[in-house]
Structure 1
Amino acid sequence: MTGAAQSPHLQPWGPDLLAVAERAIDHGLAHGLPPDLDIEGWPELLRAERSSFVTLKTTNGHLRGCIGSIEPHRPLVADINANAFAAAFEDPRFPPLRKTERAGLACELSVLTRPEPMEFADETDLVQRLVPGVDGVLIKAGTRRGTLLPAVWEQLPDPLEFWRTLKEKAGIAQGMLPDDLAVYRYRAEHIGG
């Protein structure tokens, strides 16, 4: 996967990117809106259009919110700013974050490479091509979409189970491979946690 090999590492800026996410959450608690973010002073690498996910977890490791973007459409720092706010206050699986929850909240970032299409002969071939612990996978079929981040391999280490969970998430029946199915893989650089 060429995109993954050519992506510069973001770890030196990890604390700064985590600070952007933390600030978005704190600003949201105080004002109900994400903060304005001036991207001009940031290094070029962080102003490049990249996609990210922001995952929030409680002190006991339970998911408290996760929102992100798969396709790059804004500067990375702006994407993290918006996704952190959304993970805290707009994830439809959870009520908006309350101030009383803030102290025990851990923030994790996943910065993604651009998704690349996967070629495969059939479903068995596709599952065999997945790289556990490394690949994030996006599937599209008509209006149905679903993705699982590379970090999900920690809970679903079996490629077949990973694939079945992804199909279920996208609303695609087991044993079915839609004619218009498109499958993409991406990698992620993990920061925080």
Structure 2
Amino acid sequence: MEVNTMWWAMPALLYDNNTVEDAALINAVPLTAQSKYIIKHLVIYSTVKLVLDAYSIDDLFDAVDKKCLNNQLLAHRAVFVSMFCNNQLRGCIGETDAYEPLWQNIIRFCMHSTRSDPRFDALEADELANTHFTVSVLSDLKQVVAINQQTLLTQLQVGIDGLVLDDGKKRAVFLPCVWSHFKHEQDFITELLKKGEWQATKWPQHLTGERFTVETVTGSILS
């Protein structure tokens, strides 16, 4: 199997030297072509090494040439990594809060999506040729009023916003891509309540909501 695992072997002209200190300001700027290139190859390299060479998370972190990471990859940013094989979901893991730099979160959730999604077996070597991925990089969360379904729905951009619901005990999230699974807009919220195991017949007490948008990076593991 021919795979270029030297993901950091990229032209020097792709590097930038931005020195913006404010993380919020960095995250407000759309991902650059350079950042998307690095994200794509982080996922390809990590997935191949996880599946073929049984790399650990520390092995992957150590393999990254830190000189190739720009400020967008070094900023703390939440992310979800979704794996698909033959166009069927194979794993999707992430977080809505960022506790590590984006590049580390991408590798970490690439590992979890490949190995640890409880809905699926670990990805196998013979699946790599038919595996593609989507990395969803989250914006900052923005609070919305969640006193009832209609009030909540009027604050969301259909097809654009993802949503987090939380009552202090349970938490559930839908990425923006989930809108396309439903015929009726209200089903987005109804099904998210079901995912969080809240009662469908009674609006949950103390429910809070946060919306977010995503930037996506897609690719194939063996392309």
Kindly tell me the number of residue pairs found equivalent between the two proteins: 189
Structure 1 length as normaliser, TM-score? 0.90
Q: Answer with 86-95 or 172-181: which moved more.
A: 172-181
Residue 81 of structure 2 corresponds to residue 58 of structure 1: no
- SS of residue matched to 1:147: strand
8 Å contact from structure 2 (residues 172, 195) kept in 1: yes
- Return the offset for 1:39: 6.8
Which of these residues, 10, 13, 16, is aligned with residue 38 of structure 2? 16
CA contact (8 A) 2:172 2:193 kept: yes
Please state how far the C-alpha of 1:40 moved relative to its aligned partner: 3.5
CA contact (8 A) 1:56 1:64 kept: yes
In structure 1, list runs of 5 or more residues that go unmatched. Answer: none
1:25 and 2:47 equivalent?
Answer: yes
5+ residue gaps, structure 2, are 1-23
CA distance in 2, matches of 1:21, 1:92: 20
**1:44 corresponds to which residue?**
71
Please tell me whether the aligned partners of residues 130 and 159 of structure 1 are also in contact (alpha carbons under 8 angstroms).
Answer: no
Which runs of structure 2 are paired with 1:1-193 in the superposition (5 Å)?
A: 7-12=28-33, 13-29=35-51, 30-34=53-57, 35-37=60-62, 38=64, 40-41=66-67, 42-59=69-86, 61-156=87-182, 158-193=184-219
Distance 2:45 2:162 in 1: 27
Could you tell me whether the CA contact under 8 Å between 1:39 and 1:77 is conserved in 2?
no
The 1:121–1:68 alpha-carbon spacing in structure 2 relative to 1, beyond 3 Å, is: closer
Structure 1, residues 103-127: CA drift from partner, whole Å, max 9, x if none? 1100111000121110255322112
Look up the SS of the partner of 1:127 in the other structure: helix
Q: Conserved in 1, the CA contact under 8 Å of 2:80 and 2:137?
A: yes
Seen in structure 2, the aligned counterparts of structure 1 residues 121 and 39 have a Cα distance that, compared at 3 Å, is farther
RMSD: 1.9
> Aligned partner of 1:31: which letter?
A
Compute the displacement of 1:33 (Å): 2.1
Identity across matched positions, percent: 23
Shift of residue 32, structure 1, vs aligned partner: 4.6
CA deviation vs aligned residue, 1:19-75 (integer Å, no higher than 9, x gap): 10111111111125231244742111110000111111113x110110111101110
If the length of structure 2 is used for normalisation, what is the TM-score?
Answer: 0.79
- Kindly tell me: are residues 160 and 111 of structure 1, through their superposed partners in 2, closer, same or farther at Cα, counting changes over 3 Å? same
Single out whichever of 25-34 and 176-185 deviates more from structure 2.
Answer: 25-34
CA distance in 2, matches of 1:115, 1:106: 27
Partner Cα separation in structure 1 for residue 77 and residue 202 of structure 2: 32
Counterpart residue type for residue 33 of structure 1: S
Residues 145 and 208 of structure 2 are in contact (CA less than 8 Å); yes or no, is this contact kept in structure 1? Answer: no
Query: Highest CA radius of gyration, 1 or 2?
Result: 2
- Structure 1 residue 128: Cα displacement: 2.4
Maintained 8 Å contact 1:110/1:190: yes
